[in-house]
C-alpha cells in the first residue's frame, strides 16, 4: 500500500503521476478534492522518465483539468508552487518557494539518468510524488518526483520532471501505453580519452569508439563499423578498428551517456540524424534513421 499525488489533464479522465507511485500496484484508487473516490486504470507509463498516465471514468464526476505550461524558458528565482498529499495524509497541501536550479540530473526508475530536472525549495515530502509544480499563473511546469534529504523529510531540495518532457511522452503513452525511446543500437562502445587515443593511435582524443552492435542496429544498417581486431595494451585486452562517433547533427559528443541524453531529449523514433564518425583517420557522415529501443 502506498500513496502519492497526481493531477487531471483533460476532461476525458486522464491523470498524470509518477511511475514510482503506481509501480507494482494491483489496484489504484484516486481521491478527488471533494473526497469522491474513483478506481483508476494505468493507460501508459515510462519508468525512465518516472511518468505514469492513469484514466478514471469521466462520467462518474465532473473533472476540472489543470493548464499545462512550458518549462523551456524557466528562470532560477521565479516562483514555484507545489500541491500534493505529503505523507499520504495531508491532502490538498500547497507550499511555495522558488526555482532553485535548472538542468539537474537524477536517477530514473530504470537506473538511467533523467536530465533537465527542475530543482525547487518549495516543501516536498513523501506523498507529494506525482503532484504538480506550478508557476505563479497556476500552470503546470513540472511533476514533483524526488527530494534530496539525509533524514527523509524536506530539506529544501526537491526535484520535478519538466512538463515539456511529459508533453513529449504523452502521445505515445496515450496511443501505445509506453514511450518509444530513440535508439542507435550499440551493444558495446568505449569512451575515447587521452589514454585510449594514445594507446590505439586514434585520430581524435574525444568521442565514442564503436565495438559491437545489437541485432538490426540502425547504425550497422547505415554502414557503421564496429571493432575489427583485438590488441593487448598494458596487459589489457582492447578492441580496436571501429568507427569513432564525434558528433550528431553537428553537436559534439564525448561519451555514450551524452549520446543517449541528446537523442532522448531532442529526437523521436523515425527521425534521421547525421552521425559524424572517424574511420581510417578520415571524418565522414552517416545518415541514420532512429529506431525504437527494444525492451
Q: Would you name the residues annotated as active-site residues?
A: 20, 50, 129
Q: Cα separation of 51 and 114, whole Å? A: 11
Q: Cα separation of 76 and 140, whole Å? A: 16
Q: Distances from the Cα of 70 to the Cαs of 8, 141, 160, 287, in angstroms?
A: 17, 6, 13, 32
Q: Cα separation of 252 and 52, whole Å? A: 33
Q: Cα separation of 39 and 34, whole Å? A: 15
- DSSP 8-state symbol, 65: P
Contacts of 175 (CB under 8 A, 6+ apart): none
Phi-psi region of 281 (alpha: psi -120 to 50; beta: other; left: phi over 0): left
Q: Cα separation of 78 and 84, whole Å? A: 20
Residues 129 and 21: beta-carbon distance below 8 Å: yes
Residues 115 and 94: beta-carbon distance below 8 Å: no
Q: Which three cell numbers stand for residue 142?
A: 513540472
Amino acid at each position: 500500500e502506498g500513496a502519492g499525488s497526481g493531477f487531471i489533464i483533460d476532461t476525458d479522465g486522464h491523470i498524470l503521476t509518477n511511475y514510482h507511485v503506481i509501480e507494482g500496484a494491483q489496484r489504484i484508487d484516486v481521491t478527488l478534492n471533494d473526497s469522491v473516490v474513483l478506481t483508476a486504470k494505468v493507460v501508459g507509463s515510462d519508468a525512465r522518465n518516472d511518468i505514469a498516465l492513469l484514466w478514471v471514468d469521466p462520467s462518474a464526476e465532473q473533472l476540472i483539468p489543470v493548464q499545462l505550461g512550458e518549462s523551456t524558458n524557466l528562470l532560477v528565482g521565479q516562483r514555484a508552487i507545489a500541491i500534493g498529499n505529503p505523507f499520504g495524509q495531508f491532502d490538498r497541501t500547497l507550499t511555495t518557494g522558488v526555482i532553485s536550479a535548472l538542468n539537474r540530473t537524477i536517477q530514473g526508475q530504470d537506473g538511467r539518468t533523467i536530465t533537465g530536472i527542475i530543482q525547487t525549495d518549495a516543501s516536498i515530502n513523501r506523498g507529494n510524488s506525482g503532484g504538480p509544480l506550478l508557476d505563479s499563473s497556476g500552470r503546470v511546469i513540472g511533476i514533483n518526483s524526488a527530494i534530496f534529504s539525509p533524514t527523509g523529510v524536506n530539506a529544501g531540495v526537491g526535484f520535478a520532471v519538466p512538463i515539456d518532457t511529459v508533453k513529449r511522452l504523452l502521445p505515445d503513452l496515450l496511443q501505445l501505453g509506453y514511450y518509444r525511446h530513440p535508439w542507435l543500437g550499440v551493444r558495446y562502445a568505449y569512451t575515447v580519452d587521452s589514454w585510449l587515443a594514445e594507446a590505439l593511435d586514434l585520430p581524435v582524443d574525444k568521442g565514442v569508439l564503436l565495438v559491437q552492435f545489437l541485432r538490426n542496429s540502425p547504425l550497422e544498417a547505415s554502414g557503421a563499423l564496429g571493432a575489427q581486431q583485438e590488441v593487448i595494451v598494458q596487459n589489457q585486452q582492447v578492441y580496436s578498428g571501429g568507427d569513432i562517433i564525434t558528433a550528431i547533427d553537428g553537436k559534439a559528443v564525448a561519451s555514450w551517456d551524452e549520446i543517449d541524453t541528446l537523442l532522448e531529449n531532442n529526437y523521436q523514433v523515425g527521425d534521421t540524424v547525421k552521425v559524424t564518425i572517424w574511420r581510417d583517420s578520415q571524418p565522414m557522415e552517416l545518415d541514420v534513421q532512429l529506431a525504437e529501443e527494444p525492451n
